[in-house]
Structure 1
Amino acid sequence: MRLTSLLPLAALASLSTAQSKGCGRALPCSFPEAGTSHNLTLPGTDRRYRLYIPANYDKNKPTPLYFSFHGATRDMLEEEALSQFSNPQFNPNGIAVYPDSTNGYWLSNPNADLSRPNDLDFTNDLLDHMEENLCIDKSRVYSAGKSNGGGFTSVIACNATVGSRFAAFASVSGAYYDTDETEGIGPCEPAEREEGYPFLEFHGTADTTAPIDGNTEKNAKLPVIDFLHGWAARNGCGDNARWARNETVFVKPLVKHASWDCDGKKEIVQHYRESENGHCWPSTVGNDDYPEHADQCPLGKSPYNATEYIFEFFAGYRLNL
């Protein structure tokens, strides 16, 4: 009996294109067992990363891949605990990778190490390495980060070479430096693509590390609204972009949700603004941000989990390969 596919030929072609070279290969012996995490070094470099493989990983099934970048002075271990991207409650099916910076800072921060390979090259090479050794769905690769890591996620999106490989982006309490003249970055010029650049941003109004209204000090950080308007403009909303909606989602503490519809792409840029909390990764149970930033996180928890919202946002986007 001849078997026929229920999928149209165009869909089959898309699935084939999205499948990485690592499909069908056994896990490398250095990689963690399914359901666990492990510290690794990118071959040929001294750059470290932590890798999580989900318990249900199937070498023959293309799997989404999530990058999670740590904040300034932090590291990959802290970022795994903070973002919870290895928690099956939030991420039951995806691979998570936690890159480590060379000196505690990512490109865009004035203290970043610009030595070999730089952070954009490292990210691109690490993604190559993941796709060569694991069964990755290349249409579902995503980037998120906290603070300096959130700012670096935007730097990735701005880079035509690296950013074009990621389907969507998220930043928590991001530090958005004015990078037009920063060595190793250049202006924000993402590659043109019909899917646009979906961006989700979280910020507390009491943030003094990365103030929501920016600052004018040396190494100034941009106001979050300017940062959001920038991504709305790049997604086709124009230079005078205004949100399509700005709604209250929680009352105590007050949490507002704004979103932009650009060039036919509904809610492609989104922002959650939380009163009373500051430089925190929102969580209903709390995390180490709360003791580490006790002065900025007085509530001890938030009415929502940023990680849950990030994965829901990412699920709505994939690349057209």
Structure 2
Amino acid sequence: MSLAVRSTVYNLVLVFFVVGQALAESVVVNLEEPRDASLYSGISNLRGWAVAESGIAAIEIDINGAYAFNVPMGGARGDVANAYPDFLDADLSGFSMAFNYKSLASGEHVVTARAISNDGNVATRSATFTVARFVSSYISDAEQIDTSTVTDVSTSGQSIQINDLSVEGQKWDIRLSFDIATQGFAMTDITGAEAIDAGGACSNVWGSGDYTLERNGVVRSFRVHVPNTPSSKGPFPMVVVFHGWGGDEGEFLTPSVITEADERGYVVVAPLGLGREEAGNHYSSWSFSGSTTGRDGMEARGNICDDELTMDYTYPSCSAIAENGCSWTQCTDDDIDFSVQLVETVSKNVCTDASRVYAVGGSNGGMFVWDLARHEASANTFSAIASLIGMPHRGYLDPPVLERGMPAILITGINDRTSPPGAWGDNAFTTTSDGDYFHYTGATAITEAWAGAHWCDTSMPASPFDVGVANVECRAWSYCDGESQWPPVMDCRQEIGHRYGLSWSWPLILDFFEQQ
């Protein structure tokens, strides 16, 4: 090779190297918390800063290699602006949010902050940390804490060591250390000591299978799936799934759902609705506001359907309750009471986390789950709900009965003719166009009412929220009460008809539950 050619090649390589370095350095991200090699045992910060010459478009957070959520940006950082004066919006480069580290399992985890610039360049920064926590991610009953079992309290420097503290029937050794940022003491170490009473320890009596319970002479059937993870014995979060009209216990228990439940460690309970046992072999169903009487929730008390154009599906058990020909679900049993008893029964036989019990419903089941938040017993049983292609009947916009509200995600199909969501931002009711003419609240109306119960700012329209699922648009309201990572109420839609799309909707629902 001639000297001239060699010089040209060298110069080209040098140009590519310099340009490549410039592109790589056009985005800078720094993850300040969680700190590498640190321990977390509660709610703390997830924060840092990021700059790019073209500005930052988004900050994405991965947990253990999987996308988790986007973190809010725009925090004032004069120090960063001084260091990067030529980078767009460097003075507003901070990102920060409260994060419940106890929502993660005990052990080592990796958080990665991914900064994406407006021109498409990416930079990442990761931190490896350890989570130490009690059995439950949230302890709602102070009676579960017993200091009378403490055997030793000692001090060392800025730390206090407490041994044999009883929490949820198990003894723990904990260390409290002074935290400069919060100006108070925080738990910096939690170590399990021993179970106080092995006889009362959480255990799995049931495995996966079909079970029944009897209520007032009515036998209710349900199927239970316990995570197929021998290394984990619980307590597991529980999801109760309510099938659609005419469905059964297997409707939700598809291979993709079971696989996801096993990977995340969820117990899935699939009860069977009533109706098949009645004369005429009616569809299995779930009864909710208006579905048995046929009356809507409007002030004028109209019908939930156009009675002249809709088939009469009235169940024999509702003959004395139906007020018109629009009634279309069973009246044999109270499904709200049954749901509460179902959770209590499963919890006595499978090691579950009472603070993480969720309800998911599809179609008729999705219409039913809204009512679980409107009755005190069931509202205290379930932590959040998810409705797939199911809204309440027209006029039933009552918010959750508890002051804390009830987190809810609604997933609908834009092309759904059976349970149409209506247009974005339209609070009008919708009507089926699949041969029957039932009236439902629109997706915007019910989620806006729910968001108001969480003190969200509903004076402005819901704005897009990125959940990381292709071809799914989710919208939510801002400035809500609470410290959840995702908004407590979300309206998500895809270009589909009346179907569940469980391959993508099920992981999205579990993500929503886990970010509350």
TM-score by length of 1: 0.73
Deviation at 1:130, TM superposition (A): 1.4
Alignment check: 8 A CA contact 1:150 1:175 kept: yes
Matched residue SS, 1:86: helix
Provide the residue aligned with 1:281 in structure 2: 500
Residues 43 and 89 of structure 1: is their aligned pair in 2 closer, same or farther, counting only changes over 3 Å?
closer
| Identical pairs, percent | 24
Matched residue SS, 2:380: helix
Give the alignment of 1:17-32 within 5 angstroms: 23-27=201-205, 31-32=206-207
Alignment check: 8 A CA contact 2:221 2:271 kept: yes
2:252 & 2:239 partners in 1: Cα distance? 13
Q: 1:72 aligns with which of 238, 245, 250?
A: 245
Q: Which amino acid aligns with 2:286?
A: W
Deviation at 1:270, TM superposition (A): 1.3
Residues 101 and 187 of structure 1: is their aligned pair in 2 closer, same or farther, counting only changes over 3 Å?
same
Provide the residue aligned with 2:329 in structure 1: 112
Residues 159 and 203 of structure 1: is their aligned pair in 2 closer, same or farther, counting only changes over 3 Å?
same
Deviation at 1:38, TM superposition (A): 1.6
2:238 & 2:482 partners in 1: Cα distance? 27
Gaps spanning 5+ residues in structure 2: where? 1-151, 153-162, 165-171, 177-184, 191-198, 276-283, 292-326, 423-428
Alignment check: 8 A CA contact 2:389 2:500 kept: yes
Deviation at 1:176, TM superposition (A): 2.2
Provide the residue aligned with 1:46 in structure 2: 219
Higher relative contact order (CA 8 A, sep 6+): 1
Deviation at 1:313, TM superposition (A): 1.1
| Root mean square deviation, CA, Å | 3.2
Q: 2:449 aligns with which of 218, 227, 230?
A: 230
Matched residue SS, 1:42: strand
Q: Which amino acid aligns with 2:174?
A: L
Provide the residue aligned with 1:215 in structure 2: 430
Gaps spanning 5+ residues in structure 1: where? 13-20, 181-185, 285-304
Task: Please state if 1:259 is matched with 2:476.
Answer: yes
Deviation at 1:242, TM superposition (A): 2.9
> How many residues matched?
270
1:98-157 C-alpha deviation (Å, 9 max, x unpaired): 0110121111233221223x1001101101101222221101111111111111111112
Deviation at 1:247, TM superposition (A): 5.8
Deviation at 1:22, TM superposition (A): 7.6
2:201 & 2:230 partners in 1: Cα distance? 11
Deviation at 1:241, TM superposition (A): 5.7
Residues 168 and 10 of structure 1: is their aligned pair in 2 closer, same or farther, counting only changes over 3 Å?
farther
Alignment check: 8 A CA contact 1:85 1:91 kept: no
1:57 & 1:162 partners in 2: Cα distance? 31
TM-score by length of 2: 0.47
Give the alignment of 1:7-156 within 5 angstroms: 23-27=201-205, 31-32=206-207, 37-44=208-215, 45-56=218-229, 61-81=234-254, 84-88=256-260, 91-103=263-275, 104-108=284-288, 109=291, 110-116=327-333, 118-156=334-372
Provide the residue aligned with 2:103 in structure 1: none
1:40-64 C-alpha deviation (Å, 9 max, x unpaired): 1114540111111112267963211
Matched residue SS, 1:162: helix
Provide the residue aligned with 1:288 in structure 2: none
Q: Which amino acid aligns with 2:235?
A: P
1:173 & 1:23 partners in 2: Cα distance? 39
Matched residue SS, 2:244: coil
Q: Which amino acid aligns with 1:150?
A: G
Matched residue SS, 1:72: coil
Q: 1:245 aligns with which of 447, 452, 464?
A: 464
**Range moving further from structure 2, 135-144 or 166-175:** 166-175
Provide the residue aligned with 1:198 in structure 2: 407
**Range moving further from structure 2, 87-96 or 3-12:** 3-12
Q: Which amino acid aligns with 2:406?
A: Y
Q: Which amino acid aligns with 1:48?
A: S
